[in-house]
């Protein structure tokens, strides 16, 4: 809040005279006197369509006049020099006013304003007490908010120290540090639903998210208490991760605290839609949060960020907020521990249902396929007789090397059959099963053929070889 204070001395004038003359000056300038105290007057400059009304405080101490001008509408700087202009305008008008004696009605008006200010101060104090009873500004703390912010920063610093780019990390690095990635998360890495909440895609992403978290925690943590706040943050973050996986059909890498932060704003939105928070603060907060949510969702649509996670966090936060409201407003007798446990249990149940219903073992399949290919390469290499190798030696090689390799691949195929796979991978697994069975049959015929001298198995080997070529063609031509 930019402000400027200046002192002026007027020998021969009493404090009360200076205050009355100041009141007359305010009227002459067309400013609006709002409040008055024993030795102070608060006024606001004229408000016009193209500029705000600014606050001017006039204080008296003996024959000294202290004038303070402040910009009170969220300005960060006073580049136009409005404060200096207001003070100069006031003193110039005051010099003209002080030539004449104070008018009696000014004293009456000041006294009346003092009484009104006392009444307003008492009402404001009462309203402040009502707000504090719910939002607990005077008794609550924000330690947990700071701890979560600190943890996010520590994770990011660890990433950077390990060599991750601090402006634009690669997808591989993000996945390595626990980002949400469908093939891994829906495989066995269920923990990524939570760890991705603490991984950020660069320093700008981190700073924006931590600022938004700080603003939410500033109000919510004292009001909810640490247990409710932590359970809401973690659970809405997990739900946001789940919705992201469910919505996106491609294997995108998702990370960041924004889903959990939207969850906290969803909690706040739910509480503000009830009568729990006094009206005088509820309306302004509701407007601010509504603007925040709308802006970020619209920005997300335009910039291509993970809006599914934002919406998932927001909606789950709204549900959690209404549950918390029932507890805080004593509509149900559960207590913060049971309420928090309810949120946690519902989240775990939802996560379990999703992970089992949408399980994806494509990563395991890829790992098994790599192992299969190594065995296949060994088997095909062993199925060729070496230079000068006798039939007996080749037979031994087939029995001790080639046949076990294909039998191992048969076991790998059986393991693949137990996996949850897409239709395309299931089709590939069936083709590999057919291919493996033919290779086993071919190997067994080759073993028998080493004991025959009349080419008894030649036609059978050619027929199997043709079938193998057909299956390989299907496998190699798959999309």
Three-state SS for 46-109 is CCECCECCCEEEEEEECCEEEEEEECCCCCCCCCCCHHHHHHHHHHHHHHHHCCCCCCHHHHHH
Query: Which segments of 358-402 does DSSP mark as H helices, in order?
Result: 362-382, 391-397
Alpha carbon distance 378, 374 (integer Å): 6
Q: Is 289 in contact with 341 (CB distance < 8 Å)? A: no
Token digits of residue 268: 């706040």
Rounded alpha-carbon distances, angstroms, from residue 256 to 149, 209, 304: 12, 8, 14
- Tokens 């299907």, located at residue: 474
What CATH fold (topology level) applies to the domain 143-357? Rhomboid-like fold (1.20.1540)
Which H helix or E strand runs over 67? strand 64-70
C-alpha closest to that of 271 among 215, 324, 339, 217: 324
Round to whole Å and give the CA distance between 311 and 409. Answer: 45
Amino acid 479: pLDDT: 47
**pTM for this one?**
0.70
The catalytically annotated residue of 86, 310, 316, 362 is 310
Going residue by residue through the chain (479 aa), what tens digit of pLDDT does each one get?
Answer: 789 999 999 998 999 999 999 999 999 999 999 999 999 999 999 988 878 899 999 999 999 999 999 998 878 888 889 999 999 999 999 999 988 778 889 999 999 999 999 988 887 777 767 666 767 767 778 999 999 999 999 999 999 999 999 999 999 999 999 999 999 999 889 999 999 999 999 999 999 999 999 999 998 999 899 999 999 999 999 999 999 999 988 888 999 999 999 999 999 999 999 888 877 778 778 888 888 888 888 887 777 678 899 999 999 999 999 999 998 888 887 788 899 999 999 999 999 999 998 888 988 999 999 999 999 999 999 988 888 788 889 989 999 999 999 999 999 999 999 998 888 899 999 999 999 999 999 999 999 888 877 767 788 889 999 999 999 998 888 64
User: Per the structure block, which two tokens stand in for 264?
Assistant: 């906290």
What is the rounded distance in angstroms from the CA atom of residue 231 to the CA atom of residue 213?
Answer: 15
CA atoms within 13 A on the CB side of 288: 12
Rg (CA), the chain: 38
- Determine the length of the chain: 479
Q: Spot the catalytic one: 22, 69, 231, 258.
A: 258
Handedness of CA 227, 228, 230, 234 (dihedral sign): positive
Q: Please name which of 194, 151, 140 lies closest in space to residue 344, comparing C-alpha atoms.
A: 194
Active-site residue flag, 310: yes
Q: Tell me if 182 sits within 8 A of 360, measured CB to CB.
A: yes
DSSP H/E element including 343: helix 335-357
Rounded to a whole number of angstroms, the distance between the first and last alpha carbons of the chain is 63
Euclidean distance between CA atoms 468 and 414, whole angstroms: 20
Q: What per-residue confidence (pLDDT) applies to 130?
A: 64
Helix (H) or strand (E) holding 476: helix 458-476
Place of tokens 């990390």: 169
Return d(Cα 474, Cα 479) in angstroms, integer.
Answer: 10
Cα-flanking dihedrals φ and ψ of residue 441, to 5°? -65, -40
The pair of structure tokens assigned to 457 is 């198995």
Residue 263 CB contacts under 8 Å (≥ 6 apart), including other chains: 232, 233, 235, 236, 237, 239, 240, 313, 314, 316, 317, 320
For the record, the structure tokens of 172 come out as 């591989």
> Which pLDDT value is given to residue 287?
83
- Tell me the CA distances in angstroms from 288 to 120, 278, 373, one per residue in order: 25, 16, 59
Tell me which long-range contacts 34-39 makes (C-beta under 8 A, separation of at least 24).
35/113, 35/117, 35/120, 36/110, 36/113, 36/114, 36/117, 37/114, 37/117, 38/114, 39/15
What are the C-alpha distances in Å from 434 to residues 204, 447, 468? 52, 20, 9
Report pLDDT for 421. Answer: 87
CB atoms within 10 A of CB 16: 14
Q: Span 3-135: which CATH code?
A: 3.30.310.80
Domain ranges of the chain: 3-135, 143-357, 362-476
Any idea what DSSP says for residue 398? Answer: I
């Amino acid at each position: 809040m930019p402000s400027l204070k200046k002192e002026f001395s007027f020998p021969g004038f009493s404090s009360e005279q200076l205050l009355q003359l100041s009141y007359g000056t305010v009227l002459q300038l067309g400013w609006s006197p709002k409040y008055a105290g024993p030795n102070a007057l608060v006024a606001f400059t004229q408000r016009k369509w193209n500029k705000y009304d600014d606050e001017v405080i006039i204080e008296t101490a003996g024959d000294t006049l202290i004038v303070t001008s402040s910009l009170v509408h969220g300005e960060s700087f006073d580049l136009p020099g409005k404060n200096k202009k207001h003070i100069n305008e006031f003193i110039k008008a005051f010099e003209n006013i002080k030539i004449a004696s104070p008018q009696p009605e000014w004293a009456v008006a000041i006294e009346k304003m003092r009484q009104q200010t006392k009444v307003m101060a008492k009402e404001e104090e009462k309203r402040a007490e009502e707000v504090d009873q719910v939002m607990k500004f005077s008794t609550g703390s924000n330690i947990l908010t700071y701890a979560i912010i600190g943890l996010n920063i520590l994770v990011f610093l660890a990433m950077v120290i390990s060599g991750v780019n601090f402006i634009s990390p690669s997808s591989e690095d993000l996945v390595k540090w626990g980002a949400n990635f469908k093939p891994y998360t829906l495989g066995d890495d269920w923990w990524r639903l939570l760890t991705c909440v603490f991984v950020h895609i660069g320093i700008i992403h981190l700073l924006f998210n931590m600022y938004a978290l700080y603003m939410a925690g500033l109000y919510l943590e004292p009001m909810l208490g640490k247990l409710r706040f932590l359970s809401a943050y973690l659970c809405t973050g997990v739900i946001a991760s789940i919705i992201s996986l469910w919505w996106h059909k491609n294997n995108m890498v998702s990370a960041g605290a924004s889903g959990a932060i939207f969850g906290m704003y969803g909690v706040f939105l739910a509480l503000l839609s009830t009568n729990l928070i006094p009206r005088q603060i509820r309306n302004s907060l509701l407007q601010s949060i509504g603007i925040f949510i709308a802006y970020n969702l619209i920005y997300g649509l335009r910039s291509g960020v993970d809006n599914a996670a934002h919406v998932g966090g927001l909606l789950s936060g709204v549900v959690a907020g209404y549950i918390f409201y029932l507890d805080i407003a004593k509509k149900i007798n559960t207590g913060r521990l049971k309420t928090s446990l309810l949120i946690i249990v519902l989240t775990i149940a939802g996560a379990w249902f999703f992970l089992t219903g949408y399980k994806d073992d494509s990563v395991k399949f890829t790992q098994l396929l790599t192992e299969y290919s190594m065995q296949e390469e060994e088997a095909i290499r062993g199925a060729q007789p070496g230079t000068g190798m006798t039939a007996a030696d080749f037979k031994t090689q087939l029995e001790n090397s080639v046949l076990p390799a294909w039998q191992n691949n048969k076991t790998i195929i059986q393991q693949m059959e137990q996996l949850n796979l897409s239709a395309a991978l299931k089709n590939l697994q069936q083709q590999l099963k057919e291919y493996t069975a033919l290779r086993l049959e071919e190997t067994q015929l080759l073993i028998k053929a080493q004991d025959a001298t009349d080419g008894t198995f030649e036609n059978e080997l050619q027929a199997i070889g043709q079938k193998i070529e057909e299956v390989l063609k299907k496998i190699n031509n798959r999309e």
